[in-house]
Structure 1
Amino acid sequence: MKASTPSLILFFATSALVVLFKLLNYDTLVLCGKSIIIPSLFIYYLVSNNYKLSGLKAVVFLLLFIRDIFTTLNINKSAMGSFICVLIVYILLLYFALKDFKYLKFKFRDNIFIVILILTIGTICYSVLNLKLENLELDFSLYVVFGIILSVLSIVSIINYNKNGSYAFFNAMLMCICFIITDIFFVLYKFYFYNYVFILTSIITQFLSYFFLVNYFIEKDKVIEDLSDY
């Protein structure tokens, strides 16, 4: 068994328990479970990466952990706190994605794929924001900014995978898809129509997005380490 395996098992076991506790309305246990999710993945990343950690990636883990605490505790200003945490995470991930994107070389036929992708992601974003949402916790313009940044991140990540096809970019693409699904169903059950299916879908895809995020970091670090050996 690899040294990182126990923490990965802990992540999946805790994720499954959190979903079960949510179904049973055991909010206290949900809080306890969520407090373990990011730390277990952080340990998994750290061990898998030989205990090497950059400052920006550490900030990503910290903000995701704080975001989960804000969301679960539902304390005063938790909506703004959670929003800021996730927004900064998306901006940092967009920074990582753009660093890879700038080295890509495009052909004319790539333009068709990019246009279709932009229209698809843009339509999804517009459709969600165009719903008759009720009792918004923040100013609507903030959600628009949030949607635009997530859309750009998703577009860049998918293009990176389409052009490169590496396992790292594959995880980044799946991460963004999970981000989109998570946020769509969060908006649906939070501000449109309360439904347990929406809640569970949002929670499950959120945990999956964390898993793909860590895999993306690990694979990218492997590439950087390989290049440094030359």
Structure 2
Amino acid sequence: MIKVNSAIVLFIIALVLYLLSIIINNDNLELFSKPIIIPSIYYYYYTKVKGKINFLFTLSILFFFIAEILKILNEEDFLISSLVFFGLPYVIVTFFLAQDFLYYSKVKNYEINSISFYIILFLLFYLLYNILSFINESSQLEFSIYIIYGILLLVMSIMGFLIHFNFDNKASTYMVYMVAFFIVSDLFFIFTKSTKDVWVIKIVYVLSQQLSYYMYINYFVSRSKLFPHLKS
């Protein structure tokens, strides 16, 4: 019999209900389901590490949760605040990836002979430039935050793909998926600001964002098993 983690079941149920709330435009269902998602996925992490939690990682999850709650309360009024709280975990994730990158560099030198890496790098620069050009109605502060987001995502992508191309393991695989979902969710967040009535775009945004949490949790669980000596 397949053993299913109860926290993952709760995460899936809450996510499905949240997606349903968007489709049927039900604020009460969203208010009920959305706050369950991050705590359930964090409890999954807690059970996986058997209570030996990482403080910095836990702080990053807390920042994500605060940002999500601010969006529920009032997305327009708390836009800048939620962007800051969404951005703080990116700084922490970048720190984790930098730790990984430096550790792997001691194992062997990085090789970037794959043409795929250069194609991905070009696409990332092209995507960043076009997305920033697409944003033309934001305040100077909001635009500056988007630039910081773009830089962090670019740094995460370069380190993540370099690690994955040279050290293909479970942690690096989740790492790449995590960064990819970060990029997709942020990309579709920008789209939702100009196409608020298109629920399909919002569905892609929400699904990619929530899956990024799942990949982040699994990346860190795999990372903790692979590098138990790395403390934060």
Q: For each residue in 1:60-86, what CA deviation from the matched residue of structure 2 results, as whole angstroms up to 9, or x when unmatched?
A: 110111011011211675111111112
Q: Normalized against structure 1, the TM-score is what?
A: 0.89
Report what 2:43 is aligned to: 43
Q: How many residues align?
A: 226
Amino acid at match of 1:107: E
CA distance in 2, matches of 1:2, 1:138: 50
Q: Does 2:104 align with 1:109?
A: no
CA distance in 2, matches of 1:29, 1:108: 47
Q: Any residues of structure 2 matched to 1:102-181 within 5 Å, and which? A: 102=102, 103-104=104-105, 105-107=109-111, 109=113, 114-131=117-134, 133-134=136-137, 138-181=141-184
Q: 1:178/1:143 Cα in 2 relative to 1: closer, same or farther (>3 Å)?
A: same
Q: 1:149/1:170 Cα in 2 relative to 1: closer, same or farther (>3 Å)?
A: same
Amino acid at match of 1:72: I
Q: 1:2/1:77 Cα in 2 relative to 1: closer, same or farther (>3 Å)?
A: farther
Q: 1:115/1:66 Cα in 2 relative to 1: closer, same or farther (>3 Å)?
A: same
Report what 2:205 is aligned to: 202
Please state how far the C-alpha of 1:36 moved relative to its aligned partner: 0.5
Q: 1:56/1:33 Cα in 2 relative to 1: closer, same or farther (>3 Å)?
A: same
Q: For each residue in 1:156-182, what CA deviation from the matched residue of structure 2 results, as whole angstroms up to 9, or x when unmatched?
A: 112211111111110111011111111
CA contact (8 A) 1:133 1:191 kept: no
Q: Aligned to 1:51, what secondary structure does the other structure show? A: coil
Q: Any residues of structure 2 matched to 1:208-219 within 5 Å, and which? A: 208-219=211-222
Unaligned residue ranges in structure 1 (runs of 5+):
none
CA distance in 2, matches of 1:45, 1:14: 17
Q: Does 2:60 align with 1:60?
A: yes
Q: Any residues of structure 2 matched to 1:18-97 within 5 Å, and which? A: 18-74=18-74, 77-97=77-97
Q: For each residue in 1:184-220, what CA deviation from the matched residue of structure 2 results, as whole angstroms up to 9, or x when unmatched?
A: 1110111356421110000011111111111001101
CA contact (8 A) 1:135 1:191 kept: no
CA distance in 1, matches of 2:50, 2:8: 15
Please state how far the C-alpha of 1:115 moved relative to its aligned partner: 3.8
CA distance in 2, matches of 1:60, 1:216: 14
CA distance in 2, matches of 1:109, 1:177: 21
CA distance in 2, matches of 1:213, 1:41: 10
CA distance in 1, matches of 2:97, 2:71: 26
Amino acid at match of 1:152: V
CA distance in 2, matches of 1:99, 1:114: 21
Q: Aligned to 1:107, what secondary structure does the other structure show? A: coil
CA contact (8 A) 2:80 2:142 kept: no
| Residues 178-187 or 77-86, more deviating | 77-86
Q: For each residue in 1:33-76, what CA deviation from the matched residue of structure 2 results, as whole angstroms up to 9, or x when unmatched?
A: 11100100111000111111111011011011101101121167
Q: Aligned to 2:155, what secondary structure does the other structure show? A: helix
Q: Aligned to 1:73, what secondary structure does the other structure show? A: helix
